A and B are shown apart, each in its own frame.
Chain A
Amino acid sequence: MSRLVRFFPLIILLLFVAVVAWRLVMPEDTKIRSRMTGQPVPAFTLAPTADGAPGLSSKNLATGQPRLVNVFASWCVPCIAEAPLLMELKRQGVPIDAIAVRDKPADVAEFLGRHGNPFERIGADPESRVQIALGSSGVPETFIVDGRGIIRYQHMGPIEAGDVPALLREWERAR
């Protein structure tokens, strides 16, 4: 018994080192997923931002066909990285709308001019209200909304080349 007790501090130390090493090797996933997946899109109406593209309202998202909603901003650097992949998704026939968070119309127009415009509609969300209503915690994020206006999928962070098949699959599934 006393021998076991002698090793007790060492065991505690080893446990502590093990826990620290585990979290160093596999850092905690700090993404906060939206709880709105499976729920209808909350009602909203956003004014247009760039000249040309119409604004976006929740009614535009229940059109009988699943759509992507890209939450982006011209000031968001990872959004530049995902721009070509959104163009690719559009090329494959996926309809995409956008919510421009805390953005100026001129900046959005410049961003789209430079990186391409895959969006059918763009709503301006100057106080992040719709972003918060969707349960999105940053830019960029992409939601898949089915034909009845129900959120089916949330992709957090920039879309990378490897994410395109999963997005296409989820989009097909939402039909």
Chain B
Amino acid sequence: MRHWLLVLALLAAPVMADSDLPSARWANEQLPDPRQEAAAKGLMEELRCLVCQGQSIADSDAELAGDMRALVRQRIAAGEKPEAVRAWLIDRYGDWVSYRPPVEPLTWPLWIAPLLLLGAGSLLLRKRFRRRR
């Protein structure tokens, strides 16, 4: 009996996975200062939602993403630089939370790969055009 209740509870989870509280004040409301709002928006598009992990917090409807948007707007309205807010979040969730990977030995292949592929592509093209002549 208890097991079945647990199974039922697990099945019910997606339906009841949200709270009853309304969104935080600045989750869906723009800052009055357009420059601050632009800075906040830019950062929100580069922060990853912790719940729906393929989306930015700007795009996500998850409640935690809304609370993160509110946090970003509040901090930027208080005069913090976007990069400081990003660093604060990276301290908590790691580089994973930011869509902009840092340049460090571990990520060098990531940054070099496009250049290498471009080079390989142009070599290939040159060879083909030469053959045709």
Do chains A and B interact in one complex? yes
Q: Which residues of A contact B (CB under 8 A)?
A: 30, 32-36, 73, 75-78, 80-81, 101-104, 107, 126-129, 131-135, 137-138
> Is the beta-carbon distance between A35 and B94 smaller than 8 angstroms?
yes
> Does B71 lie within 8 Å of A101, measured CB to CB?
no
Closest to A126 in B: B21
Please give the distance in Å from B116's CB to the nearest CB on chain A.
19
Indicate whether B1 reaches chain A with its CB closer than 8 angstroms.
no
A81 touches B6 (CB 8 A): yes
Interface residue count on the B side (C-beta < 8 Å): 30
Please judge, given known A-B contacts A77-B9, A80-B9, A127-B67, whether A101 and B19 are in contact too, CB under 8 Å. yes
Cβ–Cβ contact A138 & B6, under 8 A: no
A123 to B: closest C-beta gap in Å: 15
Residue numbers in B under 8 Å from A103 (CB-CB): 19, 21
| Number of cross-chain contacts by CB at 8 Å | 81
Partner of A35, one of B13, B19, B92: B92
Give min CB distance, B92 to chain A, whole Å. 4
Residue-wise interface mask of B (1-21) relative to A, using a CB-CB cutoff of 8 A (1 in contact, 0 not): 000001001101100111111
Is the contact region of chain B dominated by helix, strand, or loop, or is it mixed?
A: helix
Q: A77-B13, A137-B64, A137-B93 are in contact. Are A32 and B50 (CB under 8 A)?
A: yes
Contacts of A132 in B (CB 8 A): 64, 67-68, 71, 89, 92
Kindly provide the distance from the CB of A100 to the nearest chain B CB, expressed in whole angstroms. 10
Taking a contact as CB atoms closer than 8 A, the residue among A36, A73, A77 that contacts B10 in the complex is: A77
Contact A135 B93 (CB under 8 A): yes
Cα separation A131 to B6 with both chains bound (whole Å):
26
| CB neighbours of B10 from chain A (8 A) | 77-78, 81
